[in-house]
A = this chain, B = another copy of it.
């Protein structure tokens, strides 16, 4: 069995990430990672007549870009694993319709990028496929419309809120060797500490990151200092601080090697309060800056733990708190 401890998998033939692509909106293009993104849109509608269609086109752009980045054709991809925040994951479904790659729909809210990487890595390590594409994305305007208020209302944002990243990312996993490998993974359990403020996602999701990181350190008998970088998906500023405190209380102190994609993606002057969120946050940061730093040898072992808030507007309206989850992969540099 490749499972160790409670929830962690050690791959016997670690799959490689042989290709990747990121596409983001104009606001993200003005953020901290502008020089790392493959494509920055000038128009956040991407020439489409709705934000949902723009999201879908970003999805397609990311997947096609990632396939091209490793010199492949879409027919070379055995299966596409993708999901997104839109009801019934329509961005993924419609992208899969156009691509005509066998498709397995995933849903882990903002944890979907890592969920897909974990499942994809298992399918490659298990010798089912040679090439798997993993993709996700989000759009600020389609998410606001679906989960919060129509943008036209100009509703004031509370200080604990985060800004859904307009962006999509795709990684191509392969059984061939390359400079980035997926070596371990931890599948999360659903965690709910009874937070019901949908304007404080970081606070709601921090306990999920805590549980998954804690389980990973226990399962692997390692500690935070053993890694070059520990990256959460989109806890934002408050959420990251909450995670630091909680994890220290459980015996693991995060050092300066800890970062959060949501906190890092925008500059301090961009008025996004706690930072970025959404499936596109970790998807665009991982598939640009992070993979680039691993490929060039600047980072050697990187934990990516993506968190997701698993509520719907209806579950919130019916008075439920926010169930959350966090999935983790350990990436290793060097062939």
Contacts and interface: CB of A to CB of B under 8 A. Distances in A.
Interface of A: 1-3, 7, 9, 50, 52-53, 78-79, 83, 85-90, 93-94, 96-97, 100-109, 115, 118-119, 122-123, 125-130, 146, 187-192, 310-315, 318, 320, 323, 325
A315 B56 CA distance: 11
A150 to B, nearest CB: 13
A52 B311 CA distance: 13
A105 B103 contact: no
A203 B291 CA distance: 44
B97 A190 contact: yes
A213 to B, nearest CB: 14
Given A126-B122, A190-B103, A93 B323 contact: yes
Given A87-B312, A94-B315, 5 more contacts: A53-B318, A85-B88, A87-B313, A88-B109, A103-B188
A312 B94 CA distance: 11
Contacts of A189: 96, 100-103
Contact of A314 (B2, B87, B126, B311): B87
A314 to B, nearest CB: 6
Given A127-B2, A128-B2, A130-B1, A310 B104 contact: no
